[in-house]
Amino acid sequence: MPMDQTAGEAGAVPLRGEMRINEPMRSHVTWRAGGIADRYYMPADLDDFANVLRAFPQQAVYVIGLGSNLLVRDGGLHGIVIALHARLNDLQLIEKNESGGLVYVGAGVACAKVARFSAQHDLAGAEFLAGIPGTIGGALAMNAGCYGSETWQFVERVKVIDRSGQILVRHATDYETGYRSVKLQHQSATVPAEWFAGGFFRLSSGNQAESRQKIKQLLSQRVSSQPLNRPNAGSVFRNPPGDFAARLIEACGLKGCHLGGAMVSPKHANFIVNTGHATAADIEALMMMVQRKVKKAMAVDLIPEVRIIGEPRRLA
């Protein structure tokens, strides 16, 4: 839909991004499955992001990046999806000295790009981001991590935007962070929804060649251990304390298990892949089956790491 039509419908400040109506979400999530979004908006910049939030005050809002940790149910999304990948794409070296540097990263920047940028500027610590198939906004939201490092180890402060379009800066100390968990200190139900617009990362001094070699090793390990040849959403379940979800799933004999077009990867048991024509319902049902079997055999509750949103498809 043309930009001016959308702005006129909303009765707000003219929007400068791109609005799509009835957009198939399977095109925007790495599982390549899911329903239709009523509205799908790609903001021109952070101010435009704020404007679209103000323009549709009554709409449910879903903010996404690369869609790499997301399952959209087959009934779709009623509201507006705001897609940040390659939109909030600032990537700047703010300061640098002998001990390290400070890098600002917009929420729409791919994590792997941050790893390469940091290495290029002889900064160490961000190499692990090369193994995270998402954007910084998602990494901040879930404290994404791999290979022994987590996003919030390096966060000094963040830029956030709330449902009213107000842009704020918060410090790392304002948040409680843990394994795949981030929330505001003393957050209550009355706190309005807000999303990460970017982060300031404090990195230590490093060596470009050493960082590049580390990134190369991490990517090689990822390729050898993960089913990257089929659509997937990364690790499906969180690792339980002191154990690994993949070990538990494999111990239950579930590698290669199918439901419709969804399959537990024979290569990595904590990955569910789309074998070609999986529906979101196939994937979710397989997740639930894995949870039931692991609970019965191992007495462990597997908690999903992926986010599930939207409505189930209604039967005719």
**Upper half-sphere CA count for residue 2 (Cβ side, 13 Å):** 3
Catalytic site residue from 68, 118, 235, 265 = 235
Q: Is 304 helix (H, G, I), strand (E, B) or coil?
A: strand
DSSP assignment string, 105-168? EETTSBHHHHHHHHHHTTEES-GGGGG--SBHHHHHHHT-EETTEEGGGSEEEEEEEETT--EE
Question: How far is 15 from 236, CA to CA, in rounded Å?
Answer: 36
Q: Which of 151, 125, 92, 106 has its CA nearest to residue 211?
A: 125
Query: How do beta strands 77-83 and 36-42 pair?
Result: parallel
- Does the annotation mark 180 as catalytic? yes
Is residue 235 among the annotated active site residues?
Answer: yes
* Of residues 57, 114, 65, the one with CA closest to residue 88: 65
Instruction: Report the sign of the C-alpha dihedral through residues 68, 69, 71, 77, in that order.
Output: negative
Of the candidates 281, 278, 309, 305, the one whose C-alpha atom is nearest the C-alpha of residue 80 is 309
Q: Which residue is catalytic, options 23, 150, 284, 305? A: 305
User: Does the CA dihedral 196-84-129-269 come out positive or negative?
Assistant: positive
- One-letter amino acid at 231 equals P
Nearest 5°: CA angle at 131, between 206 and 249? 140
Q: Point out the catalytic residue in the list 39, 87, 180, 202.
A: 180
Which residues are catalytically annotated?
Answer: 180, 235, 305
